[in-house]
Amino acid sequence: MLRYLTAGESHGPALTAIIEGLPSNLPLDLEFINHQLWRRQQGYGRGGRMKIESDRVEILSGVRFDKTMGTPVAMTIQNKDWRNWSEKMAITGQAPSSVVEITKPRPGHADLAGALKYNQEDIRNVLERASARNTATMVAVGSVARLLLRHFGIEVYGHVVELGSVRVEKFEGTIAEIAERAERSEVRVADPEVEKRIIEQIDAAKAAGDTLGGVFEIIVTGAPIGLGSYSHPDRKLDGRLAQALMSIQAIKGVEIGIGFDAARTPGSHVHDEIGYSQGAYQRRTNHAGGLEGGVTNGQPVVVRAAMKPIPTLYKPLESVDMRTKEPYRATIERSDVCAVPAAAVVGEAMVAWTIGQSFLEKFGGDSIEEIERNYKSYLQAIGER
């Protein structure tokens, strides 16, 4: 069973992740992981924190000579901003007089619910862990899963399809070409004309002290038929993908394939007709997004996630001081105007992780060589059907 745990605070010494369940002998490219961490920090509309941090992962265990050993892999990402917070976030001792407790929760954040749930007087004890800074560990573990999938010819792509009120209406070229154009974009969109309009909207939001959300799309190519299962609700791959994406900070909605449009369209125009040609089953359309009954059907897996605007506003909303119960404007923390392009990178990581889990459940073994044999045998078997 492939699983991970993470730990760390936004302004603590470091972020940490432990991965359990990786096979032995999987080549692990450290620079690939670091490149994904770099991608997470890019995007027009990001805040000052991205100028401070330059994330790089350090592997502490489970890897020798660039290959996994079949034991838990421990990783850490240092927080460079810790040097400015070492007193305010000290692990031992008493809080110094310089610490100003946060008592004014921000609407849309975990501040109020978290402070009440965990009985905290200082909301900083909530926001430090709830912070999207912790998505760095998601990207790190997802990148490892991505390397596993790449070993078997499965690729994961991501791009922004909507930001604020601006939507990408046309997608030209192959999936790889769309992703390549998006990679060159400051807002991770494949259409240069739309990119200009989005940047103008981000600039306007910044000037107004506001923030913007949007929608990103993740596409997985090369996934074989048969990942996931219809046998139990918690084994359905579409449900697991939705949970993985909803676990990302600020994600409020997920759709697969044509998603909510399927509810507005007659069934004869929704379901993907099946054909057989050149020794394989074929589909002319992919409205289902590569998943039927919670199982991959051989088509590209297509999933979208909607990100709400970041709740930290430089023109803060009305709130209440939890100590005095008096009305106040919410606390201002350093933040982004828009993080949708970065969220797309996190989305890629979480989708890769979830597909990787299902892949190992289906073809798993103790070594990468054993998995290769299992996978080859399965592809041969279904190719004869």
CATH superfamily to which 3-383 belongs: Chorismate synthase AroC (3.60.150.10)
Domain chopping of the chain, boundaries: 3-383
Query: Given this model, what pLDDT does residue 254 score?
Result: 98
Residue 190 reports pLDDT greater than 70: yes
Query: Given this model, what pLDDT does residue 48 score?
Result: 60
Query: Given this model, what pLDDT does residue 221 score?
Result: 98
Query: Given this model, what pLDDT does residue 112 score?
Result: 97
Query: Is 41 labelled as part of a ligand binding site?
Result: no
Query: Is 309 labelled as part of a ligand binding site?
Result: yes
Query: Is 293 labelled as part of a ligand binding site?
Result: yes
Query: Is 334 labelled as part of a ligand binding site?
Result: yes
Cβ contact 22:64 at 8 Å: no
Residue 331 reports pLDDT greater than 80: no
Residue 91 reports pLDDT greater than 90: yes
Query: Is 23 labelled as part of a ligand binding site?
Result: no
How much is the average pLDDT of 21-45?
96
Other Cβ atoms less than 10 A from the Cβ of 369: the count is 12
Query: Given this model, what pLDDT does residue 211 score?
Result: 93
How much is the average pLDDT of 87-112?
93
Query: Given this model, what pLDDT does residue 385 score?
Result: 84
Query: Is 247 labelled as part of a ligand binding site?
Result: no
Counting Cα atoms < 13 Å in the Cβ hemisphere of 193 gives 5
Band (pLDDT 50/70/90 cuts) for residue 45 is confident
Residue 81 reports pLDDT greater than 60: yes
Query: Is 39 labelled as part of a ligand binding site?
Result: no
> If DSSP states are collapsed to H, E and C, what string results for the chain?
CCEEEEECCCCCCEEEEEEECCCEEEECCHHHHHHHHHHHCCCCCCCCHHHHCCCCEEEEECEECCEEECCCEEEEEECHHHHHCCCCCCCCCCCCCCCCCCCCCCCCCCHHHHHHHCCCCCCHHHHHHHCHHHHHHHHHHHHHHHHHHHHCCCEEEEEEEEECCEECCCCCCCHHHHHHHHHCCCCCCCCHHHHHHHHHHHHHHHHCCCCCCEEEEEEEECCCCCCECCCCHHHCHHHHHHHHHHCCCCEEEEEECCHHHHHHCCHHHCCCCEEEECCEEEECCCCCCCEECCEECCCCEEEEEEECCCCCCCCCCEEECCCCCCEEECCCCCCCCCCHHHHHHHHHHHHHHHHHHHHHHHHCCCEHHHHHHHHHHHHHHHHCC
Query: Given this model, what pLDDT does residue 75 score?
Result: 98
Query: Given this model, what pLDDT does residue 312 score?
Result: 83
Query: Is 46 labelled as part of a ligand binding site?
Result: yes
Query: Given this model, what pLDDT does residue 52 score?
Result: 64
Band (pLDDT 50/70/90 cuts) for residue 39 is very high
Query: Is 231 labelled as part of a ligand binding site?
Result: no
Q: What is the pTM of this model?
A: 0.95
Residue 340 reports pLDDT greater than 90: yes
Query: Given this model, what pLDDT does residue 170 score?
Result: 85
Query: Given this model, what pLDDT does residue 332 score?
Result: 76
How much is the average pLDDT of 114-138?
96
Residue 217 reports pLDDT greater than 70: yes
Residue 49 reports pLDDT greater than 60: no
Band (pLDDT 50/70/90 cuts) for residue 334 is low
Percent of the chain at pLDDT > 90 equals 89
Higher pLDDT, 216 or 315: 216
Sign of CA pseudo-dihedral 276, 277, 278, 284: negative
Residue 115 reports pLDDT greater than 90: yes
Query: Is 120 labelled as part of a ligand binding site?
Result: no
Query: Is 229 labelled as part of a ligand binding site?
Result: no
Cβ contact 341:160 at 8 Å: yes
Query: Is 335 labelled as part of a ligand binding site?
Result: no
